Structure 1
């Protein structure tokens, strides 16, 4: 039997806290994309998400930073022991980001890992706020000071940061090296912070025009839909993925199954991006 997917916007103001163990997810700033009505111009910025390990403040004083003597697996795990930022917004959002972090009692110096889902300016414009953090921007992983470490991230092999915390290769929007961060074990299930794999909820008619590799991005979108319960998109409100079993059809008294549309699942959206919006 196939299943039907539909999406529902998450209610609540930003910052949106999704508690969990061992990691909680806080959407600090909600991305947007507003058409300006002339020449196809769009005013836009990307979502910014904070991932907080449980009791991180209790271990911060004795936490060893990643070093050049670590293997990449150990360096990634150490980098994930403190607060993590997924995307930083554009440089114009600097003060808003600092204020949002302060309201969570997190200083820029507390952040130990910054993940940039892809290299567009509205998603990695504030990397300079976190010189003491390890950086994973697309597929480039480096320690503070710029020491780059090789790894084997691929669609078949995610990077393990901690229990239920992974970085996935989700190519398409910005090319072959986009990534997403997937957090299991929250109060809402598995949360996927996906950059522009999903521009916003209900972007089915718009994302292809903005994709460098629509075939790869379609594959990434299906993977996220099959695994996540909540998606934090690049330019809109977080949304739930709701799964319902579909009723089998009958023909001539015999039972048949509805043909799945996406990885064994049929997808519909109950929410749309702003009509006419061009998204980055």
Structure 2
């Protein structure tokens, strides 16, 4: 019989840095979602995460825009050679985002790829800070200047950005085109930056009400729990995935 899977909080405040080879993961801003007032209003913002290649050095500056000449696969791989930002938070955290990036030695012009896990304003509200970066927002991939390239991403076919770095199609929360970023080889194992596939640790009582397609999102959640050692959710602290030993 396969072992059970459970989750537990991962201690530490943002920014949380998880070293790795060939990529490190830094959770720059921790998202939140809190009821406000007596009605149904919620004050929220999305988590912002930075994926840094080991070969990138602070102060190395921009490396030029990726080219469309060899297609989307090569352009994505080229874009991922520099700092990759996963979600940007809402426009109201612009200053905090710039400060968190600077704390990691990264300027906006250094970011070569921005991945937006889905199209909600609290996750892609600062795209305008990165006009020189390639953008992968949901399933739309474009190079600086707005040149869009087809790529074939689907649940059966992830986008490979580099060794141990992939973008998965994880639909459900915002519709059929949500994505997550999978980073292997960190000191904590495989880290999945999941957007709102997981709202937060222990969200079992709430995520369905926020989902465009709960059945499909449940499938995405199960896939992520099957491979992740750490999940970075859209609106809370990162958490561990613990697998119990298999029983005969």
Q: Deviation at 1:8?
A: 1.2
Counterpart residue number, 2:123: 123
Q: Is 1:224 the counterpart of 2:224 in the alignment?
A: yes
Distance 1:180 1:195 in 2: 6
Q: What's the secondary structure of 1:241's corresponding residue?
A: strand
Q: Spell out the pairing of 1:163-202 with structure 2 (5 A cutoff).
A: 163-202=163-202
Q: Is the 8 A contact 2:62 2:109 kept in 1?
A: no
Aligned residues: 248
Q: Is the 8 A contact 1:60 1:82 kept in 2?
A: no
Q: Which runs of 5+ in 2 are unaligned?
A: none
Q: Which runs of 5+ in 1 are unaligned?
A: 249-280
Q: TM-score, length-normalised on structure 1? A: 0.86
Counterpart residue number, 1:263: none
Q: What's the secondary structure of 1:216's corresponding residue?
A: helix
Q: What's the secondary structure of 1:194's corresponding residue?
A: strand
Distance 1:125 1:161 in 2: 24
> CA, structure 1 residues 241+29, in 2 after alignment: closer, same or farther (shift >3 Å)?
same
Greater Rg by CA: 1
Q: TM-score, length-normalised on structure 2? A: 0.97
Counterpart residue number, 2:13: 13
Q: Is the 8 A contact 2:61 2:109 kept in 1?
A: no
Counterpart residue number, 2:132: 132
Greater shift, 188-197 or 238-247, is seen at 238-247
Greater shift, 67-76 or 118-127, is seen at 67-76
Greater shift, 53-62 or 121-130, is seen at 53-62
Distance 1:58 1:41 in 2: 41
After superposition, the C-alpha distances for 1:4-35 in whole angstroms (9 at most, x for unaligned) are 11111111121000000000000000000111
Q: Deviation at 1:245?
A: 2.2
After superposition, the C-alpha distances for 1:61-85 in whole angstroms (9 at most, x for unaligned) are 6945212323111100000000010
Give the aligned CA root-mean-square deviation in angstroms: 1.4
Q: Is the 8 A contact 2:86 2:117 kept in 1?
A: yes
